[in-house]
Structure 1
Amino acid sequence: MSRLRVGLLANPTAAQGTAHRIGRQVDHLLRLAGISVVDLSGPSAAVARARAEDIRDSLTALVVVGGDGTVSLGAEIVAGSPVRLGVVPVGSGNDFARSLGLAVNDPESSTRALLHALSRPVVSVDAIEITAAGHSGPGHRSLALGNLNLGFDALVNARANRARSGHTVRYTTAVLRELRAFTPLPFWMEIDGGDRIELDATVLTLCNTGMFGRGMRMVPDARIDDGVLELATVSGIGRRQLLRLFPRVFAGTHTSLSAVDIRPVEQLTIGLRHGRMLRAYADGEPRELLPLTARVLPGAVRLLAEPSGSMTADPKDSQ
């Protein structure tokens, strides 16, 4: 029997409930390969997290089956530990997987890739730590591996999550409906501990992978292992210009526009002026209300994956 012990966590609601079935398939394939598998799935994220955290230190890897939100949950469980995070992407968006070039909605290919990566050097990637402004500590933080959406993009995410149609349809519909009455949001922000600045912006995203909305390439050149995040803002345009911008974001050709600004940051504290309220979203899931602080955690998560164009492996670090 292999000395490798893998925890398996499937999101019971991802992919219209099929992730649980796919999790059983992945479990079977891993066992056929001689891997010792512990099923950590539960009726809720809280139950699954508790099960995983209870045995985390006995695991070689934690494999999550689901979408971007499930990947974030896995990252929170393994961050800062030697346990590697494997991903079987079967959610609605799968933007984290897409950014790494992983097979999507193909559990057999995903499992083969995981098994191959078990014998390869470790790949460490950055994470985004999100806390309510003025709070710190494990009880007040969440992690994201993809992006933190803070502007029009957050409002669209919230509306899309409430819809019942397919992901592509509901995201496009949410964009059109939010545009009807949208006006730029009055942000204040402090970047890397600097002076407070004010900015009226439409889109404002703190990026690690730079991809969200089922393939929108907000920061096409983003790397997830360089120790910095990218703050992408779109400002100074109206509704019509914003609508025309979105097709260019999918192609990644929008970055040359004067309305678009992308800058590297390590920490961002951000809120809204005039008493406005807004909830941030990260990796498709609701997070803190603004104001909040987000910072990069360099190399916080060890992935069970082959290096892609957005990451490199450390040849001296292997299981």
Structure 2
Amino acid sequence: MQVLFIVNEAAGHGKGKKVWHRLQQHLTINYDVAFTEYEGHGQELAKNWAQDAQTKKLIVIVGGDGTIHEVVSGVVHNKLIIIGVVRAGSGNDFARYFSTFQDAVQIENYIQNEMVYLPMDVGAVQLGDYQQEIFVNNAGVGFDAFVTKRINTSRLKLYLNKIGLGKLSYAVAVVRGLFSFRRFDVKIQADNQEWHFQQAWFVAMCNQPYFGGGMKISPTSKPDDGQIEITIVHGISRLKLLLVFVTVFFEKHTKFKEITFLQGHQFNIFVHGNDVDCHTDGNYIGEIREGTRIHSTVQRDAWQVLSEEH
């Protein structure tokens, strides 16, 4: 069994380097290792290593949600690649739902025994005529992308990571952004149906329940059901939105009338009123011009992840 570790030493503002150093000291198997050096490098490394695969191969990612997004993007629809993860990010939303490796012993036991894995879906989003982007966890239009764009360059995130509170950086950024974000109107179409929402804060497209460092925004989302779940927060005051974010951690936000949940195989989303930001798995992918069509869909059985039985 060929094994490649893709390590993002910068994940979690240095946590990736520490996790890898500790992990490699206990590895006794043969393996290859590659280190990401710039944004998008994880996708290149995974694609190049996997492209000539003739038998099953295992990629173990040491990093956070952004690195996982890149690696899965590089091997999507490659049936011979199994993905494993050693968590080393800030939010680690992937690890809140999917099974992950905890240490070198688990990795080696998995390789030496019958490797159990499960096929998973990915979400996909296309902004107008631009190239389609996939997402493993979720994609977002509006306030969550607005926050993501700012948090990825924030010194506060660096400080919170240093003291082990990196997962709070999203919550802090939410409070800071409440008073500067401009709301928008949105139209959503699917299966000959159409919905209109005014004064929307965000539209979250989800392939699993968690986002923002542990907020269970889409409780019914499953990454193997062939469906995309969409959460729209609309027509709500700034103060009440803050309350919503608090209740999300306890799954109580589903009771608010200003939150609408939709489920389906594909959706067309149009924003009106002003331009808005968009992200996939916490990676900022650009600003959407008013009236641009955002096409969101799901791709079945697109990648393989290790199973909880490991």
TM-score tier (shorter)? 0.7 to 0.9
Q: Percent identity?
A: 25
Are residues 1:5 and 2:7 paired?
Answer: no
Q: Deviations over 1:74-109 (max 9, x none)?
A: 111121112011111110110111123647xxxxx2
> How far does residue 25 in structure 1 lie from its aligned partner after superposition?
3.9
> How far does residue 155 in structure 1 lie from its aligned partner after superposition?
1.4
Which runs of structure 2 are paired with 1:96-245 in the superposition (5 Å)? 96-100=94-98, 102=100, 109-118=102-111, 119-135=114-130, 140-165=131-156, 166=160, 167-192=166-191, 194=192, 197-200=195-198, 201-245=200-244
Q: Deviations over 1:166-194 (max 9, x none)?
A: 234432332122211445321233335x4
**Matching residue of 1:61:** 58
**Matching residue of 2:299:** 297
8 Å Cα contact 1:123/1:307 also seen in 2: no
Hey, what's the Cα distance between the residues in 2 that align with 1:273 and 1:250? 30
Hey, what's the Cα distance between the residues in 1 that align with 2:282 and 2:245? 18
8 Å Cα contact 1:129/1:142 also seen in 2: yes
The structure in which a higher percent of residues are strand is 2
Equivalenced residue count is 291
AA paired with 2:297? R
8 Å Cα contact 2:116/2:309 also seen in 1: no
AA paired with 1:126? D
From the superposition, tell whether residues 259 and 49 of structure 1 become closer, same or farther in structure 2 (CA, over 3 Å): closer
From the superposition, tell whether residues 69 and 229 of structure 1 become closer, same or farther in structure 2 (CA, over 3 Å): same
Mark the runs of 5 or more structure 2 residues left unpaired by the alignment. Answer: 161-165
> SS at 1:77's partner residue?
helix
Hey, what's the Cα distance between the residues in 1 that align with 2:44 and 2:170? 32
**Matching residue of 2:84:** 86
Hey, what's the Cα distance between the residues in 1 that align with 2:13 and 2:287? 28
Hey, what's the Cα distance between the residues in 2 that align with 1:307 and 1:280? 35
From the superposition, tell whether residues 258 and 18 of structure 1 become closer, same or farther in structure 2 (CA, over 3 Å): closer
**Matching residue of 1:23:** 20
8 Å Cα contact 1:11/1:20 also seen in 2: yes
> How far does residue 46 in structure 1 lie from its aligned partner after superposition?
4.0
Hey, what's the Cα distance between the residues in 1 that align with 2:87 and 2:98? 11
8 Å Cα contact 1:88/1:111 also seen in 2: no
> SS at 1:15's partner residue?
coil
> How far does residue 278 in structure 1 lie from its aligned partner after superposition?
1.8
Hey, what's the Cα distance between the residues in 2 that align with 1:199 and 1:158? 24
From the superposition, tell whether residues 226 and 47 of structure 1 become closer, same or farther in structure 2 (CA, over 3 Å): closer
From the superposition, tell whether residues 115 and 297 of structure 1 become closer, same or farther in structure 2 (CA, over 3 Å): farther
Q: Deviations over 1:252-294 (max 9, x none)?
A: 11112222211212222323224x2222112111124333322
From the superposition, tell whether residues 223 and 114 of structure 1 become closer, same or farther in structure 2 (CA, over 3 Å): farther
Hey, what's the Cα distance between the residues in 2 that align with 1:244 and 1:42? 38
Mark the runs of 5 or more structure 1 residues left unpaired by the alignment. Answer: 104-108, 309-319
Q: Deviations over 1:17-53 (max 9, x none)?
A: 23134334434544x1x3x311122322444433332
**Matching residue of 2:163:** none
Which runs of structure 2 are paired with 1:233-312 in the superposition (5 Å)? 233-274=232-273, 276-290=274-288, 291=292, 292-306=294-308
Across the aligned residues of Structure 1 and Structure 2, the Cα RMSD in angstroms comes to 2.3
Hey, what's the Cα distance between the residues in 1 that align with 2:187 and 2:284? 21
Hey, what's the Cα distance between the residues in 1 that align with 2:109 and 2:268? 40
Q: Deviations over 1:221-279 (max 9, x none)?
A: 321111111011122211121111111101111112222211212222323224x2222
AA paired with 2:139? L
> SS at 1:270's partner residue?
strand
8 Å Cα contact 1:95/1:215 also seen in 2: yes
8 Å Cα contact 2:145/2:279 also seen in 1: yes
> How far does residue 55 in structure 1 lie from its aligned partner after superposition?
2.3
> How far does residue 216 in structure 1 lie from its aligned partner after superposition?
0.3
